Structure 1
């Protein structure tokens, strides 16, 4: 089914053709006709399925069919997204779709200057893409009016709930005086999500293109059982031996991300960082370097699990298993997009085995285990045997030590700590 079959204008079809869009994806086939008819929509769709076009194209066409002069601070369509990266990506896509039609688009999110955003809002906009927190800041300063809103979209609404935006979402909805056509898109559904949908949607058309909480069929999942302290070594070995050229690595903590990037660089692997402590400009530069192939690895926390659109990303690695099984779906949604093949790798220590079981139950699939020689997880019996069979001696401080039982990673960590401590001592002496 082609886009021209949906009665989109020639200008929109021309822009979509230049974007490389040929046929409608399943979510687009189901959502676009219902949205064109003005129905509220509750859609379950994974990332990479074409949902941005599914909700934005009907809005663009309706704005073109019913043009209105922009009035000061007024917004006709509002699209809410949980992260800066996702908001920026949605706005970029819509700008591409509206290349040949007079539709104004802007994105506002944290990490950029309020003044610059205020100037865009003051002119009035057809379509505004925003993160909840930054939008509320502008609302409090009377920089934006939602009184005459015609279209409202919640993209990746489940993520907004996970990030604690429910109060912000209600604040925003409380400022809307009209009854906009509302569309809610989510990769996963929960009781809280269903409750929210009942609050904001009116007789919605429910659309689902895949089983709830499922992952794309194009993604191959594998698990490497490994001790936590050996994960960095294993990552470097896989990248080197398998010649992985573009790898997105997810960790749970910013400190882990910082340390891992340093370690990878010591191994000769160019890596960049993407986490909440980095300025928006720095995160954008890191993403650009990663996309352009200047960096082989991007290490990210959960903040980047949504919104990153990296064309043809081949590998995603869960260096740490996510705290919530649902986040596994969001993380690996960065690969295997738009029908392309993807590779999802998870490093699982003994403490993370329960999370792995929860993930498998969620996606209704047993993930293949690969035990790489030399990286077998230690167990108590093996460790005790090892301690008894290798001679121990006392170091200068009289502590029991066993140098042969130390891994290269342990020695490297201790060396780094010693260097850092020496630097601190030198600084204090100065």
Structure 2
């Protein structure tokens, strides 16, 4: 781990986390909610009292939840969430999720972000950065409730991410952490009915918007969302957004939020290229920079097997792997949409229970397929890298790289779908005559040689 600071005035930062963020805490009643036209928004569909029939009932006497109900012993070298002086409602949700000790990126960023400072964080997928920025946002909003009138379509926090799946995952994580608070998060993604999403925005004053850049700009251009009251701005997977060509959209979005000195900005990236650092320096104000370098680029909980095969042998090999008794839940990655489509067709024809995720699949079907995969209605998923950083599902036993990924970073994200939450997994990579030349760059990133081998006779009988 390397921790350093950009800009001047860094020495003025306190050394330890404070219980209260920089802004003053108000104890007045929550603010009224209005639409931009001035009409008050609905009070969340609150029903009128039923006076037709009343019964006297004994009041419920539930013991209020407190930290004594969630004991986590101090551990040397580890930071407990208890140590951060978080609101009890947030700690209750954290207890439900069984979070005990902060991950390295959480332990390094939260002491500063909880005080309102900007942070640039480097960490691979699965390091806990999503929880880090969500906890920062929720802590701030609980400690600093608004007292003035609010307008619908004016979020207090904005989180932008490159893929639809990642946006949905972040919003789902937010809802779990908001379980005991009168705060809300709304996901905005393309490929979903605009009016349905608009109803969620207009139903009540929205606190947190999680969005892909394109759909967010759609809402802003139509005047259904206003970014001038954003207090906390989060840019997630900045390197991925750069690779996908989203940076011009991100720049337009940020230009519509308050100036960087008037908002808190958190930027996270799996890699720190010079382009990412240049953008971060434009968007943040004297940030703390935290780099979490794993001991190994690829996780130790994943067994990596590279099979040298001819292109025509890849499909028979895949079918035999899918029949192995230890294959419980598997994701098959391909580089191209047409390859995923071809694989889905061939596997269904062979009787396998399979779904597909790629950019050409309508969003409602992608969402349904992912839910079916999470609930084990289907146990085989064929996907492009659109799903590589957006699928967080425990229990995936295997990953297959049907093609060697063209970007070595994608390999790390692909195999990171298995071997999660303390379990182990297996990642197969098929290297054929058209993509074997990509292996040296992959080995350079990993810092180790991949043991390439011929498939076992049992998986690919040779005549």
TM-score, structure 1 as length reference: 0.84
Change (3 A) 1:145 1:225: same
* Equivalent of residue 136 in structure 1, options 217, 222, 236: 217
Distance 1:345 1:87 in 2: 28
2:12 equivalent in structure 1: none
More deviation, 207-216/246-255: 207-216
CA contact (8 A) 2:317 2:459 kept: no
* Equivalent of residue 145 in structure 1, options 210, 223, 226: 226
1:227 aligns with 2:302: no
1:23 equivalent in structure 2: 101
**How far did 1:312 drift?**
2.4
* Equivalent of residue 301 in structure 1, options 358, 367, 384: 384
**How far did 1:62 drift?**
0.6
1:17-416 aligned at under 5 Å gives the runs 17-68=95-146, 70-122=150-202, 123-178=204-259, 179-211=262-294, 214-373=297-456
Distance 1:256 1:46 in 2: 27
Higher helix proportion: 1
CA contact (8 A) 1:312 1:335 kept: yes
Distance 2:341 2:284 in 1: 42
1:7 equivalent in structure 2: 85
**How far did 1:195 drift?**
1.7
Deviations 1:99-137 (A, max 9, x none): 101112111011111112223333332111000000001
Distance 1:215 1:52 in 2: 20
Distance 2:356 2:102 in 1: 35
**How far did 1:329 drift?**
1.9
More deviation, 60-69/363-372: 363-372
**How far did 1:375 drift?**
9.7
- RMSD over aligned Cα atoms: 2.1
**How far did 1:53 drift?**
0.7
More deviation, 236-245/192-201: 236-245
1:401 equivalent in structure 2: none
In structure 2, stretches of 5+ residues that fail to align are 1-78
In structure 1, stretches of 5+ residues that fail to align are 378-406, 409-430
**How far did 1:166 drift?**
0.8
Change (3 A) 1:40 1:213: farther
**How far did 1:31 drift?**
1.3
The number of aligned residues is 379
3-state SS of 2:304 partner: strand
Distance 1:248 1:210 in 2: 26
Distance 1:284 1:187 in 2: 25
3-state SS of 2:271 partner: coil
CA contact (8 A) 2:321 2:459 kept: no
CA contact (8 A) 1:316 1:332 kept: yes
Distance 1:141 1:36 in 2: 34
CA contact (8 A) 2:238 2:269 kept: yes
Deviations 1:74-95 (A, max 9, x none): 1110000111111011011111
Distance 1:213 1:144 in 2: 42
Distance 2:397 2:324 in 1: 16
**How far did 1:265 drift?**
2.3
1:399 equivalent in structure 2: none
**How far did 1:322 drift?**
1.6
TM-score, structure 2 as length reference: 0.78
Deviations 1:10-39 (A, max 9, x none): 111111111222222111111111111222
Change (3 A) 1:261 1:249: same
